[in-house]
Every structure is written in structure tokens, then in C-alpha cells.
Amino acid sequence: MPFPPETINIDLTDRCNLSCIMCALKYLPKTESDMSYNDFCKIVDIFSDIGVSGFRFTGMGEPLINPHLPEMLKLCKSRGFQTEVWTNGTLGEVLQKIMGLLDTIVFSVDGATDKSYESIRTGSNFNETKKNISNFCHNNLQTRTYISYVITNININETYLMPILCKELGVKNLNLKSLRYMYPYVEINDHNKYIVSLETRQMLDISKLSFIAKENQIQLHFEQNSPLWRTCTAPWTQTNISHNGWVTPCCVMQDFNYIEFGNIFLTDFDDIWNSNKYREFRRKLLSRDPPDGCKKCGFCEDASSSPNKDLQRTGD
Ligand SMILES: C[S@@+](CC[C@H](N)C(=O)[O-])C[C@H]1O[C@@H](n2cnc3c(N)ncnc32)[C@H](O)[C@@H]1O
Ligand code: SF4
Ligand code: SF4
């Protein structure tokens, strides 16, 4: 296949054991089911030997809930694929089982204290999560380790503590993310309650943060301060597959009831990837009038307050 995606995002389940305050999962239609091992094997076969570099397991739920995850990762490794998992880090027994099978793991930890962490990640226990992460990282030195931290008005003051927490847990990278409309077409009032204004976010002292990170040997990553769609390459470089086979553009727009380009179990992926619908989506993303779902993708405030809001994409 000419120009295949580099990364395949797979939603292994739409179930989750937490109900985080900023996550849109609770508002979306759910089937409460997992991808079967058999279906996963079919997907791996489709993407073997065509130039895809790896699989990323994130999606609309907690990937570690799928009971077949260890076997799925083993299959990926046996075919030479890179593997990346995003997890809430609460399922310690599963983390033990996937040790040695991951190139990258991202733990989502949105607080440096039990009070803020547990109030954001509803249903979690901070000490348990810390124990799980520490155990994984200190015994898995070959895996790239990240903490992903979504900044809200509840935890912004704890941002400076995060590099210290990373060091304590053995995590090497800290990824700071702004709250965004995860499913941009869903009206989620919750988001508005937790938004940090642009002015407040700009008060984060980046040089102080960088200094603390350096002192603790933590690599700091920031998201770019502009709406995502203007620089987005997702529809050319990745594709997203739901637990029941629907292909969607990216891991932000992954609700197949809202948008899908076809089902990988019913249609040849080559035909999906090069379909008129997919191509039209890409064409619109390059224009001044991106697909509706993309317009609000990025920082929550940016739609109204970004100083760069009139910036246009090169080639537009
Ligand atoms: C939807 S979760 C799925 C994987 C797993 N359950 C987890 O929590 O890592 C993927 C990532 O999206 C992040 N996320 C959820 N809601 C968000 C929002 N409104 N804005 C930005 N990131 C968000 C989570 O913190 C997590 O890092
Ligand atoms: S962010 Fe992850 S852990 Fe939290 S509710 Fe959403 S899917 Fe579940
Ligand atoms: S929603 Fe649109 S702009 Fe955002 S990541 Fe997906 S394709 Fe890119």
C-alpha cells in the first residue's frame, strides 16, 4: 500500500474502571465490550509487512481491562511492531503481566497529591497507583516511561511537584497537556468548570519548571500552544480502530457513531484509507474550514482567546 499510516491506534475496549472528571467517556454511547483476540489477530495480519511502525493502545476506555492484552502485545512484538500503551496505572496485576512487552508506556496521573489526584481521577487510590507505577518503572528499564498530566484549575498549582513525583516513581518523561474537548462535538459542560484561563496558564513559570525537571533528570514535554487542527497530521500518519472494527481519523475523534470511514472487518483497509470519505476529510483539514469535529480540537480556550487564532496553515 503506498503511504500507509505509521501508527495504528487501537481501542481495545470501551470499558473503564474510573470516571475521571474531564473525560468524555461517560457521555458517549457504550457497548461495554472488548476487542476479541481473534479480531486483533486479523488486524495485525492486515498491517504486517506494509510499513506500519507500531500499535498504540489508548482510546475510549482503559486498555488494561482487556483480558487479552498480554497476548496481543506478544503478537505485536513477534511481528516486529513498536508497542505503546496509555493507562490509568490502577491495575497493578496486569502491569506485571505486560512487563517486557512495551516500548513506551504513558501513565495518566493528574495530580501530585492524593487530594487532587483522587478528586480528578474518580474511583482511584493515589498510593495504589504510585505503587503500581513505581514497581513497573523500576523493573522495566528498557521501556520509555511517561506521565501525562492534564492541567486543570484543580491541579495547576501542583505542576512544579510533578518532576519530583516522576523521579520518585522512576518515570523519565513528563508530558504536560492542556484540558481539551476530547470529543469536540459533544457539549460537555464539565470541561468549562475545569478550564484554566490562558492568562493563568501563562503564569506557569516554565523556566522554574524546566529547572526542577532538569534537577530531577526528567525530560519535560509541552503541547504546542495553538489549536491542534492547524498543524495536525493525524489523518495521514495514523488511523484509529474501535474495539468493534470501525475506522475513525484519530484518538480524539473516535466515536464511530459520529464519524467512520468503514469497518476493517468488512472492507479492505486499502479501500478505506483511500476512500473518497477519508480523502475529503484530509482535504477539509487542509482548508480554512476544517471538519466540524476538528474545529474545537486543541486547548479549550483557544477557540475564543488564542492570540494566534487568525493564523492559517501553510499551503492553505
Ligand atoms: C481517554 S484516556 C484512555 C487511556 C487510559 N484510560 C488513561 O486514562 O490513560 C487517554 C488520555 O486522554 C486524557 N484525557 C482525558 N480527558 C481529557 C481531556 N478532556 N483533555 C485532555 N486529555 C484528556 C487522559 O488523561 C489520558 O491521558
Ligand atoms: S481518562 Fe482514562 S481512566 Fe479516566 S475515565 Fe477516561 S478512559 Fe477512564
Ligand atoms: S480531531 Fe481533527 S484536528 Fe484533532 S487530532 Fe483528530 S484529525 Fe486532528
Which residues have CB under 8 Å from 238's CB, separation 6+?
5, 6, 7, 8, 9, 56, 250, 251
The pLDDT, as a whole number, for residue 187 is 60
- Using most ligand atoms within 8 A of CB, pick from 9, 13, 14, 22 the residue to mutate for ligand 1: 22
**Hey, is 200 helix, strand or coil?**
helix
Q: Output the CA 87–ligand 1 centroid distance in Å.
A: 9
> 77: pLDDT confidence band, cut at 50, 70 and 90?
very high
Task: State pTM to two decimals.
Answer: 0.93
Q: Output the CA 266–ligand 2 centroid distance in Å.
A: 29
Q: Which residues pair with 8 in a beta bridge?
A: 55, 239
The pLDDT, as a whole number, for residue 202 is 73
- Using most ligand atoms within 8 A of CB, pick from 253, 282, 299 the residue to mutate for ligand 3: 253
**Hey, is 125 helix, strand or coil?**
coil
Higher per-residue pLDDT: 267 or 224: 267
Q: Output the CA 30–ligand 2 centroid distance in Å.
A: 14
- Kindly state the average pLDDT of the residues 208-231: 85
Q: Is the pLDDT of residue 309 over 50?
A: no
Question: φ and ψ at 176, to 5 degrees?
Answer: -95, 125
Q: Output the CA 59–ligand 2 centroid distance in Å.
A: 9
- Kindly state the average pLDDT of the residues 214-238: 85
Q: Output the CA 84–ligand 1 centroid distance in Å.
A: 15
The pLDDT, as a whole number, for residue 184 is 54
- CA distance readout (Å), 48 to 57, 98, 111, 152: 17, 22, 39, 40
Lowest mean pLDDT among 129-138, 159-168, 190-199: 190-199
How far apart (Å, rounded) are the C-alpha atoms in residues 41 and 244? Answer: 13
Higher per-residue pLDDT: 234 or 30: 234
Q: Which atom of ligand 2 is nearest to the CA of 61?
A: 7
Higher per-residue pLDDT: 183 or 98: 98
Ligand showing the shortest atom-to-Cα distance for residue 56: 1
Question: Could you please report the per-residue DSSP string of 253-299?
Answer: S--TTT--S-BTTTS-HHHHHTSHHHHHHHHHHTSSS--HHHHT-SB
Highest mean pLDDT, choosing among 149-153, 198-202, 303-307: 149-153
> 225: pLDDT confidence band, cut at 50, 70 and 90?
low
How far apart (Å, rounded) are the C-alpha atoms in residues 85 and 95? Answer: 11
Strand duo 104-108 + 238-241: pairing: unpaired
197 DSSP 8-state letter? P
In this structure, are residues 7 and 52 in contact, taking their beta carbons and an 8 Å threshold? yes
Q: Is the pLDDT of residue 100 over 60?
A: yes
H-assigned helices in the chain = 37-47, 69-78, 92-97, 114-120, 126-138, 162-169, 189-194, 198-202, 206-215, 234-237, 269-273, 276-285, 292-295, 302-305
Q: Which residues pair with 178 in a beta bridge?
A: 151
The pLDDT, as a whole number, for residue 203 is 79
- Average per-residue pLDDT for the chain: 88
For the chain, the helix, strand and coil percentages under 3-state DSSP, each to the nearest 5: 40, 15, 45
